[in-house]
Structure 1
Amino acid sequence: MKNIAETAYLVAMYRALESERVDALFKDPLARILAGGKGEMLVEVIGEKEKITNAIAIRTYVIDHLILQLVNSKNIDTVINLAAGLDTRPYRLPFCASLCWIEVDLPEIIAYKEQALQDEQPLCFLERVQLDITNVALRKTFFSEINLATRQALVITEGLLSYLHETQEPIPLMPDCSNLFFGKRLDVLVMAGRFEGLSDLEWKLFEDIFPKQASKRGKGMPHAPYRYVLNSLLYILITGCRWCDLPRGDIWASKSSSHRWLKRWRSDGTFEYIQGRVLAIANEKGLINWDFGAVDGSFSPAQWEEVKKLRMEGKGKVFLSIHLPKVVECPWLIALPQPMATRENK
């Protein structure tokens, strides 16, 4: 794709394809209008139409329910959708008319969307803001302005950070939001983003778990430092990238080394120990709400095949079945990445 804007047309087209199914998880009658011919063309160019449509449908369905649950249970009066793209939630979700929904995106996307939907009526108060969210000064000014008019806010960004250029610094959206909404309740729903490696302070949370020096495997070079291995595994977890797309450089371990340690740490309980420590710290600081949570099934290809098979057999709405005694609303929650598929375990 030539630019970020094309992603908006692509996702809208996937929502349109899902909406046209008899057993659709949701109905978005405006999606095809927004996607237009450009969205249809991009879907054909990308390929794997059914697989990606299923993934986008599940993601949209889960986020829809999280938003409704938060808005209804937390008395949220303002929703800020950063990098909103061609999202249509203000038109299709059952919001009360008093809710203020603010969409923020690049001028070309906002202008196109306003023209395409000029005859449509949203179910809540809707405001659109033309803003380059990567501009720190403009972003802080924007947050400062809306901070004056809101009591309880929900900020949403679906994958914004992952589309930044590799040379750009990560956008500190969470600190910006927390600082500017100081004294108010702020819920932030963030999808996969960027990861630049553990800071020295973050590494100190885990350093004592590992031996001081990585042992050698007989002859040859020593293992990569454990910090680099953990960096690589967290990169896969946070960005959702493929193993072959792991970054290379001074702070990263190789694909083969990372995969080898992943299997060992899953087997000996190291990952579970790391997760327990992170959850304990987050719980102590009040960062976990044990009444909410999200489950990502993107690491379950076998289950996806079963869902696909059942749908083809006309079983209606089929979901990945993952049972949790409690569900978690916490950015620290670690879900383990899966080993690469091999001929033995495929």
Structure 2
Amino acid sequence: MDKIEPNLTGVPETMLWTLHNRAGEALRADGLLHDQKLVEIYRALDYDYEASFGKAQPSHASRAVVFDTEIRAFLKAHPNGVIVNLGEGLETHRFRIADNGAALWITVDLPESIAIRERFIKPDDRHRHVALSALDRRWFDEVPRGRPVFVTAQGLLMYLPPEETASLLRDMALRFPKAQLLFDHVPRWLSKATLKGHRLTPNFTIPPMPWGVDRSEIEPTMRSWAVIETVETFDYRLYRGWRGLVFRWLSRFAFWRERVPAITRVTFA
């Protein structure tokens, strides 16, 4: 079968970066993820992953594990809930997470991202695709009223201007009271580095990340942006190789923990 050229640039191209790192784990017998759909997509794209991103690292796979765990917990408590994945790209949560058939999954992403996603993952009555920016509030209307809501923003909010993210969270809190939002975030130093043109490899420059937030800032920032009931932040872990050993050792120190990426879940009031 002929391979598919993704033809993505800018922030949409980062879905290939995260796909590469997740696939690196899914292809291992001892990998963090077991996901044949992920491997299928990875192998079907005509793209030189290592030239752009280097050797696969477990970072995005470990992030996906946290998101999987939180979605499972939500669905266990709310089997008929609605999962809204903002900027989902080629993520394949729905193939790793079993539900009882009552949940609704909604993917919200840019039209070019939805187009490549639908080459491999078709929407249906319980798995809808909405070709809009996460900042376009029209996706709100796709979420049925009266059902518990869990929103994910994996690898997304750091690429948005902070004032636009703040406005989005305020509107979400008003429209979806008691909903949960799970997202990852990068520290200030990394945000500043990307604004200067941070190269991951000689062939790939990470798109600018206008929003960086250190760990101690995340809860007060969230509470200043929207009416929040709870805020919980999770460690962003690395599990493999010397980087994992160094990361675990450094994470014992408050100074370091303050300045590494992390994952936060908020519950709107």
Normalising by the residue count of structure 1, what TM-score does the alignment of the two structures yield? 0.54
Equivalent residue, structure 2, for 1:235: 188
Equivalent residue, structure 2, for 1:33: 40
Listed as ranges, the matches of 1:79-228 within 5 Å are: 79-118=83-122, 125-134=126-135, 139-148=136-145, 150-164=146-160, 169-171=163-165, 172-182=167-177, 185-192=178-185
Equivalent residue, structure 2, for 1:15: 22
1:4 counterpart SS class: helix
Superposed CA deviations along residues 289-346 of structure 1, whole A, max 9, x for unmatched, are 7xx7522236xx9771369xxxxxxxxxxx99x89xxxxxxxxxx95227xxxxxxxx
Structure with more strand by fraction? 2
Unmatched segments (≥5 aa) in structure 1: 194-233, 248-270, 308-318, 324-333, 339-346
The 3 A distance-change label for structure 1 pair 145 and 244 is closer
The 3 A distance-change label for structure 1 pair 95 and 181 is same
| 1:155 CA drift (Å) | 0.6
The 3 A distance-change label for structure 1 pair 245 and 109 is closer
**Distance (Å, rounded) in 1 between the aligned partners of 2:171 and 2:70:** 22
Query: Does the aligned pair in 2 maintain the 1:9–1:34 contact within 8 Å?
Result: no
Query: Does the aligned pair in 1 maintain the 2:22–2:58 contact within 8 Å?
Result: no
Superposed CA deviations along residues 71-125 of structure 1, whole A, max 9, x for unmatched, are 213556100001110111112212221110001111222122223235xx99x92
List structure 1 segments (4+ residues) > 6 angstroms apart after TM superposition: none
| Structure 2 letter corresponding to 1:189 | L
Select the structure with the greater relative contact order (CA < 8 A; seq sep ≥ 6): 2
What's the % identity of the aligned pairs? 22
Equivalent residue, structure 1, for 2:200: none
| 1:6 CA drift (Å) | 1.6
Equivalent residue, structure 2, for 1:58: 62
Normalising by the residue count of structure 2, what TM-score does the alignment of the two structures yield? 0.68
Unmatched segments (≥5 aa) in structure 2: 1-7, 197-213, 261-269
**Distance (Å, rounded) in 2 between the aligned partners of 1:286 and 1:161:** 17
| 1:57 CA drift (Å) | 1.6
| Structure 2 letter corresponding to 1:288 | T
**Distance (Å, rounded) in 1 between the aligned partners of 2:15 and 2:90:** 5
Query: Does the aligned pair in 1 maintain the 2:110–2:133 contact within 8 Å?
Result: yes
Aligned residues between the structures:
226
Given the alignment of the two structures, is residue 304 of structure 1 paired with residue 257 of structure 2, yes or no? no
